[in-house]
A and B are shown apart, each in its own frame.
Chain A
Amino acid sequence: MIMPLLQGLKITFLHMFKKPVTLQYPDERPNVVPNFRGLHGLKVSHERAKCVACYLCPTVCPAKCITVEAGEDANHDKFAARYEIDMLRCIFCGYCVEACPVDALKMTQEFELASYKREDFVFVKERLLEKK
């Protein structure tokens, strides 16, 4: 009866002499692993988003939080005239990244997504474009 209790206390005491696992966030920053699935980023190449508005990510998205509208540019090519992700609905499954046929989408290590207003959770194309 008393043995399990002592066993537990032993672990507690041992931890008193180890490095703490918690972080003093936000003074201390976590070390986010590279394959963490945080905020999306639209990759840029040749000064423009790589996304060709193929509509595969909105199709595959189980939370239906991606809105794409294709446009036709001066060369008659397809581009995403509108690209939005509603982060309030996103479940960070990463299917969109997997579906993208042109490797235009990634998920960054960005996890601080809190906001004061609902509208601010809708990330439009400009906000998603990869920062240099």
Chain B
Amino acid sequence: MVNLTIDDKQVTVPKDATIFDAAKAAGIRIPILCHDKKLHPFGGCRMCLVEVEQMKGRQIPACTTPVTEGMIVRTTTDEIIKARKMVLELLLLKHPIDCPVCDAAGDCDLQNLTYEYKVNANRFQDEKFQHKIDYENPLIERDMNRCIHCGKCARICDEIVSFGAYTFMNRGIEAKIGTEFDGPLNCEFCGSCVSVCPVGALVSRPFKFKARWWSLNKVKSVCSYCGTGCQLTLGVKDNKVLTTIYDENQGFHNGQLCTRGRFGYQFVNSDKRLSTPLIRKNGTLQPASWDEALTLVSAKLVEAKNAGGKSVAGLVTPRLTNEELFLIKKLFKDGLGSDSIDHSAGYAHAALTAGAAESFGSAASPSVISDIQNADLLLVVKTDAYETHPVVGFEINLGVKRKEIDLRIISDKRGKLSKLPKAVTYVHKPGQEVALVNALAQVLLADNLQDSTATGVEGFEGLKQQLEAFAPEKIAAACGLDADTIKTLARDYAKAAKALIILPLGLGYPGHGKALAQALANLALLSGKVGKEGCGVLFLGEKNNSQGAADLGIYPTAGGADADAILAGCQSGSIKTLIVAGENPVVSYPDRKRVEAALDKVEFLVVQDLFLTETAAKAHVVLPACSFAEKSGTFTSVGRAVQQVNQAIKPVGEARSDFAILNGLLAGLTGNAPYADAAAVFAEIAATVPAYAGLTIAGLGDTGAILPVTVKPRFVAAETAAVTAESGKFALVTGSALYHCGTMSRFGEGPMHVCPEGYVELGRDDAQALNVKDGDTVAVKSASGELRLKAKVGTRMPQGVVFAPYHFDEASVNSIAVGAPVTWVSISK
């Protein structure tokens, strides 16, 4: 600790603090333009000048100067104010000062400081900048005339996003922030640069000119795309969500979002939203009143209940709030007497609900997000962890670059994470994850590297026996990695003091199920890396509330039918009534033909959704539901974080929240009074779900809470599924595209501008052999169907392996993939 005096106030701060940090701790504000707490100090703008007595009153930047013992600092003397005014005058010299048409006005650091320091005339004169404005991309407008060269955009894109789209170019007065060859911006469009730009040089195009910053109502909420659970602030005006607002104090991620969170909010106010209930009459869906629709649904449910409940089933999206999930589970259990309810096609949650549940004793990750930066070694399964959970990816970037965490990736392709400094990617043959992880565990045992606690864990002997078949030498050839490489990886993992395993889950990853989760759990348990800081296994649930869906039992818990059996039941006629709440199985579940046939067959299909999805189009009754912006409740995200969602706008059209719909149906069926509000349901969750015990919705506040977990370790042999390569064919692996999450992002303009359609990604060699160029349309044919997809040629894919994202309806990849980790396809032009 270091003691110093700032403006006559005594401050004690850690010795790595800067004068700026010390002043902040003492509640003294020093103006800044180029400093950001998330980034390395830069010292470019000189706005933060202060005087230090020991330096004979020389003016030094507060943001880059470390504190020293006994320092006496003055932050506002006449001299300093003069210097700051000069800084502003020089910045304004070539600046266009077009505040009336600049979207930053009102939230512009330059404007605010100019006002504060009363700079109303300029002693200097020069021409204004004449840079060409970049209007080329649909999301970020770059007006370098307004740029003040703070370098924040270039730094954040490099330090945190690790994309590196910008750099300073030219010298002196010609200097500007440039892109690759000074061309149009073509990047990940995460919008991080837009959020940190202190002026209006980088603005969000979807929000351009829509409203003034000060007229927006700012509502704190949680992103409703992936499981990372980023907190965000919605900018609302006239019952419309107009933008997401950057708040550097929100969440573990300091307000950073990915492209979906930042630019994908438009689905909320999309004009494709359903506005009234629809009922199928004479074969077509026709608008109806809520009364009519609900009476019909209730009647069918009562019928099903009286028939014993076996004939009714539900497929529920993990995008609903915890309270809604609780209600639907209760509706099935108490109202209908059915246990046939499931989510995410059954397999995308099995890693948690079956894998973690057996190996760790509860269906949750034993680790939390902060473990990422506290680890010494990260073992990431698939480079796709970046695509599925981009902001978790930022944490990995930061850990690797700032804390020199050793990053190891086992993956069937290379990806963005592979490019991080010193990252090692072990590219194995598709579908071999479980075998490879088993081999790692086998090496631990063979080398006697297991932790002393491991031998006492139940199932140890059995595991030892099972693993014998997985000696690296035995599986090396099938995995496509040599035995020594596998051994080195295992030893490095075992020897790291703190090592964390990261496993992304999702509908696009059928292989990331129970077996892989258990293989990884075995590895972590064997090396004693569970239940300690920076250790364990972090499961990345796909959707915003995937963890909540696991906690609240949105899967058969008493012998009911799972998603697969539900679809089979619809097909065979044993299930007569199907409630689909927010899921879109037609596009996202494997084997589209089978799903469509099942849904066409079922007697009565009710769909609650925001949009007339491919699934809703088949329904007998469609109920218009609400987005996350229209309701309050809680989501539980990766690392067991429960956070509050706050209603920002009134329901669009006649839409009703799933909460209201389910609450009404439940009360009707059970004869009990409906719940008063989300808080009442949350209270019941707290009373019945052990992990939530003691929590209240109000007590969660803005930061949320981390659910407790007790690990009851057990070794369970992880079964491998045979992958039989078909000669002359390509291995198709599916997954998520960076800009999308599930099928909802298709209704956001942002994601659709950047990634509007499905594609198939091939390696260069394969493309050359097939004579396919980037952008060509190719026919992809599997045993179950054929698709025409645009080819994307790059360096990521190893020879013989191709990748396709799953989110799209047209050319939906589930019409050729039937849920196996690898689908064998032939590709022709």
Contact = CB atoms under 8 A, between A and B. Distances in A.
A6 to B, nearest CB: 61
Interface in B194-239: 208-212, 214-215
B117 interface: no
Contacts of A62: none
Given A76-B133, A76-B135, A56 B209 contact: no
Contacts, number: 30
Contacts of B105: 54
B101 A52 contact: yes
A119 interface: no
A59 B215 contact: yes
B100 A70 contact: no
A114 interface: no
Contacts of B141: 76
A101 B100 contact: yes
B101 A54 contact: yes
B85 to A, nearest CB: 22
A10 B490 CA distance: 116
Contact of B210 (A52, A70, A76, A102): A70
A72 interface: yes
B214 A78 contact: no
Contact of A56 (B100, B208, B211): B100
B469 interface: no
Interface string A36-74: 000000000000000011111001000000000011100
A124 to B, nearest CB: 18
Contacts of B214: 59
A42 to B, nearest CB: 15
Contacts of A53: 101, 209
B209 A70 contact: yes
Interface residues of B, number: 14
A77 interface: yes
Nearest to A58: B215
Interface in A63-102: 70-72, 76-78, 101-102
A15 B215 CA distance: 56
Nearest to A51: B100
A59 B133 CA distance: 29
Given A59-B214, A72-B208, A78-B209, A52 B133 contact: no
Contacts of A54: 99-101, 105
Nearest to B98: A52
A79 B655 CA distance: 34
B242 to A, nearest CB: 12
A78 B141 CA distance: 14
A102 B100 contact: yes
Chain A CB count within 10 A is highest, among B100, B133, B135, B212, for B100
Given A77-B101, A78-B101, A101-B99, A55 B212 contact: yes
Nearest to B213: A55
Contacts of B133: 76
A101 B98 CA distance: 10
B212 A72 contact: no
**Residue among B135, B208, B209 having the largest count of chain A Cβ atoms under 10 Å:** B209
A59 B215 CA distance: 8
A71 B209 CA distance: 7
A33 to B, nearest CB: 30
A101 B97 CA distance: 11
Nearest to A71: B209
Nearest to B208: A72
Interface string B91-104: 00000000111000
Nearest to B212: A55
Interface in B492-539: none
A104 to B, nearest CB: 9
A55 B215 contact: yes
Contact of B100 (A52, A72, A76): A52
B137 to A, nearest CB: 13
Interface in B100-143: 100-101, 105, 133, 135, 141
A32 to B, nearest CB: 30
A68 to B, nearest CB: 10
Contacts of B211: 55
Nearest to B105: A54
Nearest to B211: A55
A104 B212 CA distance: 19
Interface string B236-273: 00000000000000000000000000000000000000
A56 B99 CA distance: 11
Contacts of B100: 52, 54, 56, 78, 101-102
B83 to A, nearest CB: 29
Contacts of B101: 52-54, 77-78
A59 B211 CA distance: 11
Contacts of A78: 100-101, 209
A72 B212 CA distance: 15
Interface centre among A53, A55, A72 (most CB of B within 10 A): A55
B203 to A, nearest CB: 11
Interface in B36-67: none
A80 to B, nearest CB: 10
Contacts of B99: 54, 101
Interface in B4-56: none
Contacts of B208: 72
B278 to A, nearest CB: 32
Interface string A2-39: 00000000000000000000000000000000000000
B135 A59 contact: no
Contacts of B209: 53, 70-72, 78
Nearest to A77: B101
A19 B458 CA distance: 113
A77 B209 CA distance: 9
A72 B135 CA distance: 12
Most chain A beta-carbon neighbours within 10 Å: one of B133, B141, B211: B211
Interface of B: 99-101, 105, 133, 135, 141, 208-212, 214-215
Q: 6 smallest A-B Cβ distances: which pairs? A: A54-B100, A70-B209, A78-B101, A55-B212, A101-B100, A52-B100
5 contacts: A54-B100, A71-B209, A76-B141, A101-B100, A102-B100
Given A55-B211, A72-B209, A78-B100, 11 more contacts: A53-B101, A54-B100, A54-B101, A54-B105, A56-B100, A59-B215, A72-B208, A76-B135, A76-B141, A78-B209, A102-B100
